[in-house]
């Protein structure tokens, strides 16, 4: 779950950074570069999770199904 929370988090943070830029009339150069750096880190991390990974398929073992009824 951690991974997915991160992805959701990362996307949220990215949006916030973009919004920050949108809200600034004149961007403070130092702060702006700091934000871009942070954004690049987030983009990199998100891309890592968004790599194509083979899906796993497994049929569950239902041997104990009788006990589920109880």
Partner 1 sequence: MDQSLLEKLKKWQADRARRDNLEAYRVLPYSVLEEIARRVPQSPEELLEIKGIKEKKLAKYGNDILLITRDDGGEEMVIDLDKQDKIFEVSEYLDLLNESLANLEARVKGEVSSIDMRGNYIFFGLKDKSDESLISCFIWRNDFETSGVNLEEGMEVMLWGYPNVYKPGGRLSFQTKIIELVGEGALKKAYDELKNKLESEGLFAPERKRAIPSFSHKIGLITSHRGAAIGDFTSNLVSYGFEIKFYDSRVEGKQAVFDLVKAVKWFNKKMPELDALVLVRGGGSLESLQAFNTESLVREIANSKIPILAGIGHEKDISLAALVSDKMVSTPTAAAMELSKSWNEAIYKVDEAERNLLSYLSEIFERFEKAKNALHREFEKIGQSIFYGRDKIEMAIKNIYSSFSRLLLNIKEQIRIAENQIKLSNPERQLRLGYSLVSIGGRIVRRVKDVRVGEEVDVKVSDGELKSKIL
Residues within the interface to partner 1 (CB under 8 A) = 1, 4, 7-8, 11, 14-15, 17-18, 21, 27, 29, 32-33, 35-36, 39-40, 42-43, 46-47, 50, 52-60, 62-66, 68-69
Find the shortest distance in angstroms from Cβ 28 to partner 1: 9
Please name the residue that has the structure tokens 């398929």: 57
Cβ distance 7 to 49 under 8 Å?
A: yes
Taking CA atoms, 61 is separated from 10, 21, 39, in Å, by 36, 52, 44
Find the shortest distance in angstroms from Cβ 11 to partner 1: 5
């Amino acid at each position: 779950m951690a991974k997915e929370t991160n992805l959701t988090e990362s996307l949220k943070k990215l949006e916030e950074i973009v919004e920050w830029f949108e809200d600034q009339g004149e961007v403070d150069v130092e702060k702006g570069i700091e934000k871009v750096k942070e954004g690049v880190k987030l983009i990199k991390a998100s891309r890592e999770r968004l790599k194509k990974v083979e899906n796993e398929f497994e049929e569950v073992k239902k041997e104990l199904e009788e006990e589920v009824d109880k």
